[in-house]
Amino acid sequence: MRLLFEIISVLLEVLLYAICVVVAGFFINLLITPIACGQQVVERTLSSEEPATVKVSDRHTTTILFPQPVNAIIGNDLTDGNDGNETAAFQINHPPNSRIVAVIARSPESEAPVVVAIENELFLVNLSYSQDPNLAVTFTAPKAVAAKDAPGGLVRRAILLPPLDFSPPNLLRLLELANAHRLPTSGIAARSVYFPSTRGNVTSTVERVTRFVEDDAIVVSGSIRNHSRWKRASIVPKHFVVQVGARRYPVSMAQAPGSIPRNGRVRFTAILMGDGAKRADFSIDNDFRLIVTPSS
């Protein structure tokens, strides 16, 4: 009987030792893994001529930080996960008007060239599948090209931007895009807001703001309410004014009924494009309020 107890005691010691080894190995692995992952944080330089390669896997999400907000990400083998494209090699998530892009591979041994639009420039990025991915990539702006000295020792730089298109067909196109349930590209930033403004018995509320960078256009949409229980309110959409911060600008085009029923509500869409004949570059983060003055 004594021999049996000794055998059981030895077996318990061996079992306890094995458990300690397994637990120790588990915690050592936890400590080592972050260090290995930390070596996957890299820095790249944006270029419009030579694509910068970003290594991506299907097990870890790669986070990319650009020097400025990204307007659009263009590629034939990409999906945002909501467009029903099951064959795309890479899934990309990009919060509107942000500098961050998250990428994960959806199929091994895949590669895709991507064009990234930032401000008025296009840059090349090559996504490549790897079992040793870059977990975080920080892109730096390309070095400025040295300019030639102009007479008198002054350095001149010309920035050519396309002229703004104030034609009615283009304004209608932008209004239709802004009213669409789903915007076509991530380069069109939009956000939900609540900016009310009251004049007399009429309250206009901006509920959505959409920014079209290339057209330098802001489209505001929302509702206009008539608080009167006794008579209809008459409004003139072409006389709408958008207040941006403390300044006011006439709309380039607006869509809304000319009359609001008693105690009723109608929808509106208005576009603010440029500042007269030049670019205004309004930020989508501003406060936008529609000023509606009812007709007497």
Q: What is the CATH number of the domain that holds 259?
A: 2.60.40
Is residue 12 included in any domain, yes or no?
no
Q: Kindly state whether residues 138 and 188 are assigned to the same domain.
A: no
Phi, psi for 272 (deg, rounded to 5): -120, 115
Whether 210 and 285 share a structural domain: yes
Q: Tokens representing 130?
A: 């790897």
29 within domain boundaries: no
Helix (H, G, I), strand (E, B) or coil at 287: coil
Share of the chain above pLDDT 70, in %: 75
Q: Which tokens go with 115?
A: 């064009």
Is 61 within the bounds of a domain? yes
- pTM for the structure as a whole: 0.46
Please tell me whether residue 144 adopts helix, strand or coil conformation: coil
User: 1-6 long-range CB contacts below 8 Å, 24 or more apart?
Assistant: none
31 belongs to a structural domain: no
| 78-79 vs 90-93, strand pairing mode | parallel
One domain for residues 174 and 255: yes
Of 143, 177, 206, which marks where a domain is finished?
143
Number of domains in the chain: 2
- What 3-state class would DSSP assign to 25? helix
Residues 115 and 199 in one domain: no
Pairing type for strands 62-65 and 136-140 reads: parallel
Last residue of a domain, one of 143, 160, 178: 143
Answer yes or no: is 271 within a domain: yes
User: What Å distances lie between residue 209 and 108, 130, 235, 242, 283, CA to CA?
Assistant: 39, 39, 22, 12, 10
**pLDDT(3) > 80:** no
- Whether 190 and 228 share a structural domain: yes
How much is the CA Rg of the chain, to the nearest whole Å?
Answer: 29
Is residue 34 domain-resident? no
Query: What mean pLDDT do residues 155-178 have?
Result: 68
Phi, psi of 34 (to 5 degrees): -60, -35
d(CA 71, CA 75) in angstroms, rounded, equals 14
Where among 109, 143, 177 does a domain terminate?
Answer: 143
Question: Quick one: average pLDDT of 266-276?
Answer: 83
Residues 148, 116, 212, 67, CA torsion sign: negative
pLDDT greater than 50 at residue 156: no
Do 241 and 179 fall into the same domain? yes
Q: Residue 50: which domain range?
A: 41-143
280 domain-assigned:
yes
Tens-place pLDDT, residues 100-137: 999 999 888 788 888 888 877 788 888 989 888 888 99
Q: How confident is the model at residue 205 (pLDDT cuts 50, 70, 90)?
A: very high
